[in-house]
Chain A
Amino acid sequence: MNIVVCVKQVPATTEVRIDPETNTLIREGLESIINPYDTHALEEALRIKKRLGGTVTVLSMGIPSVREMLKDILALGVDQAVLLTDRRFAGACTLATSYALASGVRKIGNFDLVICGKQATDGDTAQVGPGLAEKLNVPHVTYVQKVEEIEHGYIKCNRVTDDGSETVELTLPAVITVVKGINTPRLPSIGGIRKALKDEVMVWDVDDVGVDENLVGIKGSATWVIKTFVPHYSTECTMLTGSIQAQARALWDELIERRGAL
């Protein structure tokens, strides 16, 4: 079973700060981490590999420094890591990202399964997994919380739905996106780190993957950001003090008398 896992690097916080002048994300001073959902995608791939054999390849599109993150991931027991990086990939919307990643997966070749996280904690669209499946022309299932069966050419998954869950059967190759409940991600071992010391991350640019440069990056994007802004929250907090009776009284006055709750 050959599995490709797509991982994205994201800022370590959900408190995204936006530069009011340029309307772009302020990345300075923010620690970068692997998208938390993608650690579950990786774990699932490694578990499937342990059962069925085969290979696990991680694929990421991002800036050159993402290489460090991929090196750390190699220590988990991943067979190879590929970074797509090129100025021409930059500024991509989800469509162009899906196309670029699909080209990367094709170049890696001979895949049975692609696993993505449910969504990225910064972009948050949850579109890349399904987009990638369309570009690869394979079936997909999102929000997978359990891989119930998997064998050559076949996978049975249980996915989260709004009002419960459902079981879906697919033929492989396919794309699945996973939720956090699917597993507990592992940490690397000393042995894994030692082995990974010798491994290298493969770095590919637009020419290496042989894509149409008009379909990736900002040129290949179907949507553009016209404006971004920080929503204004005006919630206020009032601390009540005094005896419990006095606080209860104040709460009653505020909620019932003034705001007419009940």
Chain B
Amino acid sequence: MNNINQEYQDYLRDESRSTGQAESIFFPVTAEEVRTVLLRAGKTSVTIQGARTGLSAGAVPQGGHILNLSKMNKITGLRYDQEQGRFVLTVQAGVLLSQIKRVLQERSFDTENWSGSSHQALDLLRQSGQWFFPPDPTETSASIGGMVACNASGARSYYYGPTRKHVEELTVVLSDGSLIRLQRGRDKVEAGRFNIITDEGRRLSGTLPSLPLPAVKNASGYYLQENMDLIDLFVGSEGTLGIVTEADIRLLPLPAAIWGVTVFLPCEESALRFVHAVRSELCPVAIEFFDHRALALLKEHAQAQNFDEKYHTAIYVEFHDKDEVSIRNSVMQLGRIAELCGGDEEKTWVATNRHELEKLHLFRHATPETVNTIIDRRRRLDSRITKLNTDMAVPSRELDNIVRLYNRRIEEENLEAVVFGHIGDNHIHVNILPRSIDDYLKGKILYLEWAKEVVAVGGTVSAEHGIGKMKVAMLKEMIGESGISQMKRVKEIFDPLGILCPGNLFPEPIRAGE
């Protein structure tokens, strides 16, 4: 245990740039140590941290202890799932996504404490080409625990789905120190009831409500469906139900052909038509959007590829396929679609290998990075200013309307902003860049206004960054008082004293007896 002195100040913050407070911080290295902390915590609250890259302040403590999992960073085993024809990697919660990417690319693991069967599986893996873990949030220094807790996703989630889809098994320590293992397919919720046995042989059962899910990509509140896998309740629970100490994650064979194309279009209308056509006619893994403001920003600030002044809107499309012939075919069709929508085959960038693909990914990531640099500069003049970043998704039929709404309101309020992101999933981010505190306040109001609109058309207030502490009011807007109280009851089953991550998801820390 460490007291929070100068040395640990950084642990009071995450990438949302808000700061909290805490009395002490623990860096457990085993699940056993996690249990000990909880057994001794009593009624003191415990905020769980992974790599603190979260954007919703979920890992920012509000007093009590911090339980930081960054030292649980070992990849502990590998197995081959014969039936499904895929590998499953066992990793501790603090393992970073970048670490997983690296070891899989190099096929070189620290196998010191691996079992014999894991070694055998590794031999098999080395003989069977390249494998990958599909979730691809932009921030690769996120931890697996954090990704599971937030159900993180990225551009390729358009095809591969979010983190949830790739988690096979979780080891979770509950607030009373008991340990449970949740396996997909085995631990089911049936007719609203679940039944599990903890490591010490204690039976844990309860009733779960089922709540309607918005029919969109979603990272807002608990996943509660009829006959679901219990593991899915914990994925996306943002540290409020238990501490993930270990995860079994699925690996897929890396497709032989991966190509990316950035298509430039003469106006936004034509870009939207292009997106709809690509979605219905082709099978890409990612469709990403850059509005004209984002392109102008990149042109001015980023050391990007050269592009024509006349290019207005850009769409990035990525394909994964079994061979060159098929993938080239898709890209040729993409070109035809672009021309039909008012674009030009010549005004495209095609990446056909890893190095070129990297260039297009960097170009994609340059948008939020450039925004952050500008905001940091402005914060030095007025520290009250922060980036206002929306994370909302709407159903497909509402895509054009929401884009129009964003444009209209940004112009009416005379704000500086960029609009970009996962348009394939109807999930585009608006980043407002306040030039003054007035802009900031106007932007905040606008954000709430948009949240209401999005909810009204059946969308979600957070599609990937989670609710954390920043969007609690928006979650309530989305699921209403009754939704919140149903979710609270779920929390009470696993964390009756309300000590885990108080302030996340729910307005106030819920305490025993309240």
Residues on A facing B (Cβ under 8 Å): 12, 31, 33, 72, 75, 184, 186-194, 243-244
Contact = CB atoms under 8 A, between A and B. Distances in A.
B328 to A, nearest CB: 7
List the 8 shortest-distance A-B pairs measured between CB atoms, nearest first: A190-B335, A191-B345, A187-B349, A191-B346, A190-B345, A190-B348, A189-B348, A189-B346
Given A187-B350, A190-B350, 14 more contacts: A12-B355, A33-B353, A33-B355, A187-B351, A187-B356, A188-B352, A189-B347, A189-B348, A190-B331, A190-B332, A191-B345, A193-B331, A243-B7, A244-B7
B82 interface: no
Contacts of B7: 243-244
B102 to A, nearest CB: 15
28 contacts: A33-B355, A72-B352, A184-B305, A186-B305, A186-B306, A187-B305, A187-B349, A187-B350, A187-B359, A188-B350, A189-B347, A189-B349, A190-B261, A190-B332, A190-B334, A191-B335, A191-B345, A191-B348, A193-B328, A193-B331, A193-B332, A193-B350, A194-B332, A194-B335, A194-B345, A243-B7, A244-B6, A244-B7
Contacts of B346: 189-192
Contacts of A187: 305, 349-351, 356, 359-360
Contacts of A191: 335, 344-346, 348
Given A33-B353, A72-B352, A189 B345 contact: yes
Nearest to B332: A194
Contacts of A189: 345-350
Contacts of B487: none
Contacts of A244: 6-7
A60 B353 CA distance: 20
Candidate in A184, A192, A193 with the most chain B CB atoms within 10 angstroms: A193
Nearest to A36: B355
Contacts of B338: 190
A114 B389 CA distance: 50
Nearest to B350: A188
Nearest to A32: B353
A192 B354 CA distance: 19
B454 to A, nearest CB: 34
Contacts of B6: 244
Nearest to B356: A187
A11 B346 CA distance: 30
A184 B302 CA distance: 13
A83 to B, nearest CB: 19
A72 B353 CA distance: 10
A191 B264 CA distance: 13
B354 A31 contact: yes
A188 B352 CA distance: 9
B125 to A, nearest CB: 15
Contacts of A243: 7
A254 to B, nearest CB: 21
A189 B331 CA distance: 10
Contacts of A33: 353, 355
Interface in B155-184: none
A31 B105 CA distance: 13
Nearest to B355: A33
Nearest to A183: B306
Contacts of B306: 184, 186
B302 to A, nearest CB: 12
Contacts of A190: 261, 331-332, 334-335, 338, 345-346, 348, 350
A233 B353 CA distance: 32
Contacts of A184: 305-306
A186 B348 CA distance: 10
A191 B351 CA distance: 13
Contacts of A186: 305-306, 349
Nearest to A244: B7
Contacts of A72: 352
Nearest to A75: B350
User: Most chain-A Cβ atoms within 10 A of its Cβ — which of B328, B334, B353?
Assistant: B353
Interface string B356-384: 10011000000000000000000000000
A243 B5 CA distance: 11
Contacts of B331: 190, 193
A151 B305 CA distance: 27
Nearest to B360: A187
A96 B229 CA distance: 68
Interface in B303-348: 305-306, 328, 331-332, 334-335, 338, 344-348
**Listed residue (A12, A189, A190, A191) with the most chain B CB atoms within 10 angstroms of its CB:** A190
Interface in B240-297: 261
A75 B348 CA distance: 12
Nearest to B6: A244
A33 to B, nearest CB: 6
A187 B362 CA distance: 14
A32 to B, nearest CB: 10
Nearest to A12: B355
B347 to A, nearest CB: 7
B341 to A, nearest CB: 13
Contacts of A75: 350
Nearest to A193: B350
A182 to B, nearest CB: 13
A12 B354 CA distance: 10
Interface in B86-127: none
A210 B360 CA distance: 43
Contacts of B344: 191
A191 B263 CA distance: 11
Nearest to A243: B7
A159 B419 CA distance: 41
Nearest to B262: A187
Contacts of B261: 190
A184 B352 CA distance: 18
Nearest to B347: A189
Contacts of B334: 190
B130 to A, nearest CB: 11
Nearest to B328: A193
Nearest to A185: B305
- Which of A184, A186, A189 has its CB near the most chain B CB atoms (within 10 A)? A189
A33 B355 CA distance: 9
A75 B346 CA distance: 11
A201 to B, nearest CB: 16
B71 to A, nearest CB: 12
